[in-house]
Amino acid sequence: MEKNWKEIASELNYSVKNYIGLTKMIVQMSNRAHAYGIDPANEELIHGKKDNKGRVQGLESLKGMASRRIERVLGDFPIWTDWLVNVPGIGPAIGGQLVALYYFKSVAVCSKCGADLNEFSCPICKVEAKGQGVLKFRTEMRTFPTISSWWHFMGRHVDQATGKMPKRIAKSKWQDEDENPNDWSNVGRKIGYDIKESFNKFASSHKYKAYAEKRKQYRLSTHPDATKGHRHNMAWNETVKLFLAHFWQVAHILDGLEMTQPWCVQHGGHDESHIIAPYYFNGDLEEKAA
């Protein structure tokens, strides 16, 4: 990256949050329009007045601009230009959120003294940040030494107490991570669902969609008594985890970082033949698998 990484991080986070905010506003306005008997496409009122421009259409135009801005910022990241852009279903919105979560961490700080906030309170000057408007943040680089740590952060790990994916516990997100039971990203968990929905729209020729269908058949043999919906969710959870593992692998290759073996190979007794090379990536892993 030729630019300062903090500037890139700020621009990426700003663009992604604008896109998310516009998306939420469009949904809210469309729902509100239907509730009042208005066509959200052109805002044609039931008493005959009409606005051909349409406020929702205007927001859609702004959303498109936000998407293109995210794509421009992503041009500074090899994982986008060399891989994600080639994965069908991973557009700038999902790609931007993934890259921002993987590489950067935003820490809320006191606007007065710059100390890290603890539950909206400054431990140094005792100022309460809650209710004072927009928070200030310090940007830090984030690292994930293993695939498992990346899965955990994205909320795709297994809760040791239940043997299932963890459920969100309502507590302040400003708690220290060591004390916070939600030591995974709610945003990351949602992105996983967005990835699933995006991949699921494609035909079976899509490599991740084909993997999901293969896992559904496998789960039919391992969990014959499970409902169809349960097996569907199991298969797609495994598919999202595979994609996230591929994201970690490609990022480490392109960033020149040391590659560690997946848990199933290092501790689970499997050999390297069980490793699936990243789909749609023309780097070393796919060439070795060919």
Farthest-apart Cα atoms in the chain, separation:
70
Q: How much is the pLDDT for 121?
A: 80
Predicted TM-score (pTM) of this structure: 0.83
What are 273-290's pLDDT values in tens digits? 678 889 999 754 444 333
Q: How much is the pLDDT for 179?
A: 40
With a cut of 70, list the residues of the chain below it in pLDDT. 1-3, 40-55, 129-134, 169-182, 261-273, 283-290
What are 201-233's pLDDT values in tens digits? 999 999 999 999 999 999 999 999 999 999 999
Q: How much is the pLDDT for 206?
A: 96
Q: How much is the pLDDT for 132?
A: 58
Sequence letter at residue 136: K
Q: How much is the pLDDT for 189?
A: 93
